[in-house]
Chains A and B, each alone.
Chain A
Amino acid sequence: ETGVTQSPTHLIKTRGQQVTLRCSSQSGHNTVSWYQQALGQGPQFIFQYYREEENGRGNFPPRFSGLQFPNYSSELNVNALELDDSALYLCASREGTGERSYTFGSGTRLTVV
């Protein structure tokens, strides 16, 4: 079975621009979560999608938004990029009912200059 794949692996953007990050969930997984990991810190929960609906959100502003598609892949969109948005963005998926173990992708390293 394939794992979680994220694209692109690295990205450099200018402050004020918009960015879209993509995630393909593991086969059979219908729940996708996104996390932001700043340098030297633990991952922080951004939001989660279950069967195309957002069902949880962390303490991130509305300029962080997302989508989940019928095949359970997902996008993270960030508008009006700020320097502090520079981080590793991790996508994780799991089967929605009962199993608590997430499978993580390798992440997208976003640098805002």
Chain B
Amino acid sequence: GDSVTQMEGPVTLSEEAFLTINCTYTATGYPSLFWYVQYPGEGLQLLLKATKADDKGSNKGFEATYRKETTSFHLEKGSVQVSDSAVYFCALSANSGYSTLTFGKGTMLLVSP
């Protein structure tokens, strides 16, 4: 079945550091890929998405590129802020059937001033 694997956290960075959170997936066909963010005590917010190979999703300084050859969708940001502290979830949606989301376990990011 479909699955998503994320690097374990927490990831601890100082403000303005470079961020990478690794995500790889296993799926049949050509899924759509997503990054969601969850702030403490809240639900999930869509951060960015990519629907086909080589697409780059971007939002609020975050970027991720859909790499079919390596089945990866790594999240990057050039300069993190304290307000970026949250849990980040990589997810996929198969572009067939009823297309629900399969999530990774999440990676906590802690940014200190």
Contact = CB atoms under 8 A, between A and B. Distances in A.
B49 A100 contact: yes
B43 A104 contact: yes
Contacts of B98: 48, 50, 55-56
B104 A42 contact: yes
B106 A33 contact: no
B99 interface: yes
Given A48-B98, A56-B100, A100 B93 contact: yes
B105 A100 contact: no
Contacts of B43: 4, 6, 90, 104-107
Interface residues of B, number: 25
Interface residues of A, number: 25
A46 to B, nearest CB: 9
Interface string A35-54: 10000111111001010000
A32 to B, nearest CB: 11
Given A6-B43, A107-B43, 10 more contacts: A35-B101, A41-B105, A42-B89, A42-B103, A42-B104, A56-B98, A100-B99, A104-B43, A104-B44, A107-B42
30 contacts: A4-B43, A6-B43, A41-B105, A41-B106, A42-B4, A42-B89, A42-B103, A42-B105, A43-B44, A43-B101, A43-B103, A44-B103, A45-B100, A45-B101, A50-B98, A56-B97, A56-B100, A90-B44, A92-B101, A100-B32, A100-B49, A100-B51, A100-B93, A101-B46, A102-B46, A103-B46, A104-B43, A105-B43, A106-B42, A106-B43
